[in-house]
Amino acid sequence: MIVSRTLLLSGALALILAGWTSAASAQDAVEQRGKEVFDYWCDACHGDGPGRPGTAALEALYNGEKPALIEDRDDLLPELTRAFVRDGISVMPFFRKTEISDADLDALAAYLAP
Amino acid sequence: MAVPPGVSERDFDRALREFENAVGEQWVFASDEDVDLYRDAYSIYKGDPEDRTAAAAVAPYTVEEVQAVVRTANRYRIPIYPISTGKNLGYGGSAPNLSGSVVLDLKRMNRILEISERNASVLVEPGVSYFDLYRYIQERGLKLWVDVPDPGWGSLIGNAVDHGGGYTQPQFRNHFDAHCGMEIVLPDGDLLRTGMGALPGSESWQQYKFGAGPWIDGLFSQSNYGVVTKMGFWLMPEPDAYLTGTVHVPKHDDLIPLVDILNFLENTGVVNGMPRLGSMVGGGRLQSEPELQALLARGASTAELEEYAAVAGRGYWSCTVKFYGPEKAIAANWEYAREKFSAIPGATFVDGESYRFPLTAEQIEDITRGQADGTGDSALPDFGVPSLVTFSAGARSETNPNPSSGHVWFSPIIPRSGEAIIEANRVFAEAAGELGLPVAAAGFSLPATYWNRSFMYLYGFPISEDPEANRRTREVFERLVRIAAEHGWGEYRTAPAFQDTVADTYSFNDHALRRFNERLKDAIDPNGIVAAGRYGIWPRHMRGA
Ligand SMILES: Cc1cc2nc3c(=O)[nH]c(=O)nc-3n(C[C@H](O)[C@H](O)[C@H](O)COP(=O)(O)OP(=O)(O)OC[C@H]3O[C@@H](n4cnc5c(N)ncnc54)[C@H](O)[C@@H]3O)c2cc1C
């Protein structure tokens, strides 16, 4: 009886653990997708190095108060990323859903989130 | 939810269901939030109730789906507006000419169908961007270059059908010229292939443009006679090497022989890269020198400017020429070019940059830096490398603390002569003064050289968040189109906001060209469903509205 209870318990624990790790890897997969979306759609303007107009603009805007690289920011809440991507700002146009789907935008926002 | 003009809500609803059946529910966009994303991000109607908007968008994945959508649209008389990647910023973005159209968004059709290193050609679908094709080529290590426009996220097809241009050799940088073979879904849903594509079993669709009979490809550019679903393009085989050199000439009037010699060198294929004209008095890096600025500010005479140029040891004008080819051959071509330019007394020469291919990662980084800060002779597009560096020009920076919300291009074609450059500057400076534009203060400007047989001016007018400022810009723009036309200069391309005005200037023989286009429109698309109003071509029931 006791044995079977332990078994039952550990079985439950194993289940919970499995759930936890698959949630973690789902999170990894989302961020991985987010990084892919970033590389495809944002990197040419917001990447590191010369000739990246987004990075240069944010350097001029924040003057060192915040990182010029949006990948290094710790204040880009998902709502903020979503708003900029769907509204655009200055020369950065907004993106259509055939370019960045809602699911991809969620992944991108998760990737850029603190 | 908006409904297309002249369509009942009931019919529109039915059509949307049919679109969903054709392409899948998730690829029909009809909510305000989704449809709003089809506005022109750089609209000169920004903030204005007349800003062009779509009623819905449909994103097919195959040619058959395009045909199904077009047939439904025809049945319910729904105006549709095809876009490829929809990145036509500065010339209209992804917005339709006619508000209430359903945008046919072909971005998902992004297959590279065939690429041949031996034939240096490619066959693509509309959603393939320059970035996509470049990556595809790099991943496979093919020795091919794609001629790219400044922004790399546009499509080979969208750019070419709007007559876009790039930066390598003349036969590649005119993107519509560089195409070979098209596939088009006609407004009734029929499928057409042009050139050798019309001959079943032909293996030369991307090798010979014309087939037999009239060459109709041009009809499907800057027009509204069909939906282009495939296009072939000729690619440039990677050359061995590249070289630049600059000639400086001392006198104001030297511009005339300078251009004539350049034309000869280009038309004989000696100079086979895209040249760049420069001037001490405008558009160049030297303009920021205080002494020169003072001279310009007080309206110094030509003689004074010539003297300044002589003392400062630089020319009044410069021309940077670029060469692609075998190392020895291009060195010899530069030597020959110097000989030709030496016909201008006092011409001096500076050797420029040279590269062997493929470029290393560090070289690409250096070129990017030189392009971004304007110090290099060369830019990434000279090497067929796509990027978005060009947006640096309008984006926020130390020197541009209040960036605009994009821009719209004024881009007239003028003759390829020094006289025309001087005359265009006189006319535009006068117009700018009259219209109260800051262009007058910008000094002399030099034309772009995309097209090897003509010059083209490119002025970007900023988009404001203030609708009243945008209204004034539209007025000025239209006035400039008219003034240019009075001098025989016409826009090569323009945003929907100005397409009627521009079409109106091409008016030879009581608008014979427009009348012909309208007759074609009525024959090919009697219900007028495809891109109504594109480049001033309206279907019969909307003419004169
Ligand atoms: C800073 C800046 C620099 C630029 N530099 C350049 C440059 O160097 N060279 C240049 O050419 N342009 C330039 N442009 C303009 C423009 O951004 C590019 O030409 C861009 O490639 C066009 O967008 P697209 O390729 O996504 O075409 P799309 O927006 O997809 O298409 C343009 C238009 O063509 C028609 N069309 C598209 N696809 C189809 C189809 N399948 N069937 C029927 N009709 C169709 C539609 O009317 C559509 O609106 C520049 C713009 C900016 C903002």
Last residue of a domain, one of B53, B77, B107: B107
The amino acid sitting at B394 is: G
B232 and B121 assigned to the same domain: yes
B218 and B330 assigned to the same domain: no
Chain A residues whose beta carbon lies within 8 Å of the beta carbon of residue B59: 98
A19: pLDDT strictly greater than 60: no
Please indicate whether, in this complex, the C-beta atoms of B37 and A60 are within 8 angstroms of each other: no
> Would you say residue B525 lies in a domain?
no
Reported as a pLDDT band with limits 50, 70 and 90, residue B282 is low
B58: pLDDT strictly greater than 90: yes
Please report, for residues B147, B166, B181, B360, the alpha-carbon distance to residue B121 in angstroms, rounded to integers and kept in the order given.
12, 17, 11, 24
Mean pLDDT value of segment B515-541:
98
The whole-number pLDDT of residue B146 equals 98
Structure tokens at B366: 């250096």
The whole-number pLDDT of residue B445 equals 86
The amino acid sitting at A58 is: L
Q: How confident is the model over A65-80, as pLDDT tens digits?
A: 999 999 999 999 999 9
Mean pLDDT value of segment B138-160:
98
Q: What percent of chain B has pLDDT over 90?
A: 87
B281 and B315 assigned to the same domain: yes
Task: With CA atoms as reference, report the closest residue to B178 among B155, B206, B138.
Answer: B206
Please indicate whether, in this complex, the C-beta atoms of B34 and A97 are within 8 angstroms of each other: yes
Please report, for residues A80, A95, B191, B403, the alpha-carbon distance to residue B517 in angstroms, rounded to integers and kept in the order given.
47, 34, 21, 40
With a 6 Å cutoff on the Cβ, whether B381 touches ligand 1 is: no
Partner residue opposite B395 with nearest CB, options A53, A96, A97: A53
With a 6 Å cutoff on the Cβ, whether B60 touches ligand 1 is: no
For chain B, the 3-state helix, strand and coil shares in percent, each to the nearest 5, are 40, 20, 40
Mean pLDDT value of segment B58-87:
98
Give me the CATH number covering residue B466. 3.40.462.10
The whole-number pLDDT of residue A113 equals 97
Please indicate whether, in this complex, the C-beta atoms of A91 and B59 are within 8 angstroms of each other: no
Q: How confident is the model over B402-458, as pLDDT tens digits?
A: 998 999 999 999 999 999 999 999 999 889 888 888 654 456 789 999 999 999 999
Question: Using H for helix, E for strand and C for coil, what is the string for B503-535?
Answer: HHHCCHHHHHHHHHHHHHHHHHCCCCCECCCHH
> Would you say residue B298 lies in a domain?
yes
> Would you say residue B373 lies in a domain?
no
Q: Would you say B239 and B194 are in contact if contact means Cβ atoms under 8 Å apart?
A: no
Gap between the Cα atoms of A41 and A32, Å rounded: 14
A49: pLDDT strictly greater than 70: yes
Phi first, then psi: give them for residue B406, nearest 5 degrees. Answer: 100, -170
Q: What percent of chain B has pLDDT over 70?
A: 97
> Would you say residue B388 lies in a domain?
no
A10: pLDDT strictly greater than 50: no
- ∠ Cα B147 A85 B388 (to 5°): 20
Please indicate whether, in this complex, the C-beta atoms of B397 and A95 are within 8 angstroms of each other: no
Phi first, then psi: give them for residue B231, nearest 5 degrees. Answer: -150, 140
B346 and B446 assigned to the same domain: no
Distance B162 CA to ligand 1 centre (A): 6
- ∠ Cα B28 B29 B30 (to 5°): 115
Gap between the Cα atoms of B56 and A66, Å rounded: 39
Structure tokens at A25: 């890897």
B80 and B126 assigned to the same domain: no
Chain A residues whose beta carbon lies within 8 Å of the beta carbon of residue B131: 40, 44
The whole-number pLDDT of residue A8 equals 41
> Taking the alpha carbons of B213, B218, B224, B230 in that order, is the dihedral positive or negative?
positive
Distance B158 CA to ligand 1 centre (A): 5
Chain B residues whose beta carbon lies within 8 Å of the beta carbon of residue A105: none
ipTM score assigned to the predicted complex: 0.94
B196: pLDDT strictly greater than 80: yes
The whole-number pLDDT of residue B285 equals 52
First-to-last alpha carbon distance for chain A, in angstroms, is 48
The whole-number pLDDT of residue A22 equals 66
Which strand (E) or helix (H) includes residue B407?
A: strand B407-410
Give me the CATH number covering residue B46. 3.30.43.10
B153: pLDDT strictly greater than 70: yes
B358: pLDDT strictly greater than 70: yes
B285 and B337 assigned to the same domain: yes
Reported as a pLDDT band with limits 50, 70 and 90, residue A4 is very low
With a 6 Å cutoff on the Cβ, whether B164 touches ligand 1 is: yes
Partner residue opposite A91 with nearest CB, options B29, B105, B395: B395
Please indicate whether, in this complex, the C-beta atoms of B131 and A93 are within 8 angstroms of each other: no
Mean pLDDT value of segment B83-100:
98
With a 6 Å cutoff on the Cβ, whether B530 touches ligand 1 is: no
Q: Would you say B405 and B473 are in contact if contact means Cβ atoms under 8 Å apart?
A: no
The whole-number pLDDT of residue B288 equals 63
A3: pLDDT strictly greater than 90: no
Q: Would you say B462 and B479 are in contact if contact means Cβ atoms under 8 Å apart?
A: no
The whole-number pLDDT of residue B437 equals 80
Distance B397 CA to ligand 1 centre (A): 26
Q: How confident is the model over B218-266, as pLDDT tens digits?
A: 999 999 999 999 999 999 999 999 999 999 999 999 999 999 999 999 9
The whole-number pLDDT of residue B63 equals 98
Distance B201 CA to ligand 1 centre (A): 32
The whole-number pLDDT of residue B57 equals 98
B230 and B119 assigned to the same domain: yes
B231 and B253 assigned to the same domain: no
B308: pLDDT strictly greater than 90: no
Mean pLDDT value of segment B297-318:
86
Mean pLDDT value of segment B54-76:
98
Last residue of a domain, one of B92, B107, B122: B107
Reported as a pLDDT band with limits 50, 70 and 90, residue B205 is very high
B251 and B315 assigned to the same domain: yes
B139 and B79 assigned to the same domain: no
Atom 31 of ligand 1: nearest residue by CA position: B158
Q: Which residue has the higher pLDDT, B305 or B380?
A: B380
> Would you say residue B394 lies in a domain?
no
Identify the domain containing residue B86 by its residue range.
Answer: 9-107
Distance B421 CA to ligand 1 centre (A): 27
Which range, of A41-55, B312-326, B465-479, averages the lowest pLDDT? B312-326
Nearest CA in chain B to A42: B388
Nearest CA in chain A to B83: A98
Indicate which atom in ligand 1 lies nearest the CA of residue B154.
Answer: 25
Please indicate whether, in this complex, the C-beta atoms of B392 and A53 are within 8 angstroms of each other: yes
Structure tokens at B4: 């297309």
Number of domains forming the structure of chain B: 4
> Would you say residue B336 lies in a domain?
yes
Reported as a pLDDT band with limits 50, 70 and 90, residue A5 is very low
With a 6 Å cutoff on the Cβ, whether B449 touches ligand 1 is: no
Atom 25 of ligand 1: nearest residue by CA position: B154
Question: Using H for helix, E for strand and C for coil, what is the string for A3-57?
Answer: HHHHHHHHHHHHHHHHHHHHHHHHHHHHHHHHHHHHHHHHHHHHCCCCCCHHHHH
User: Which residue reads 């996509």 in tokens?
Assistant: B132
B125 and B94 assigned to the same domain: no
User: Which residue reads 């789906």 in tokens?
Assistant: B65
Last residue of a domain, one of B107, B128, B163: B107
The whole-number pLDDT of residue A83 equals 98
Chain B residues whose beta carbon lies within 8 Å of the beta carbon of residue A62: none
> Would you say residue B274 lies in a domain?
yes
Gap between the Cα atoms of B524 and B527, Å rounded: 9
Beta strand B490-491 pairing with B412-414: antiparallel
Paired with B455 in beta bridges are B414
Give me the CATH number covering residue B205. 3.30.465.10
The whole-number pLDDT of residue B436 equals 83
B248 and B352 assigned to the same domain: yes
Mean pLDDT value of segment B455-463:
94
Partner residue opposite A97 with nearest CB, options B37, B131, B368: B37
Among B39, B43, B89, B168, say which to mutate for ligand 1: greatest number of ligand atoms within 8 Å of CB: B89
> Would you say residue B518 lies in a domain?
no
* Angstroms from B523 CA to nearest CA on chain A: 33
Give me Rg for the CA atoms of chain A. Answer: 20
Indicate which atom in ligand 1 lies nearest the CA of residue B157.
Answer: 38
B516: pLDDT strictly greater than 70: yes
Mean pLDDT value of segment B496-500:
98
Which range, of A10-24, A90-104, B42-56, B457-471, averages the lowest pLDDT? A10-24
Give the CA diameter of chain A.
71
Reported as a pLDDT band with limits 50, 70 and 90, residue B122 is very high
Partner residue opposite B388 with nearest CB, options A44, A95, A98: A44
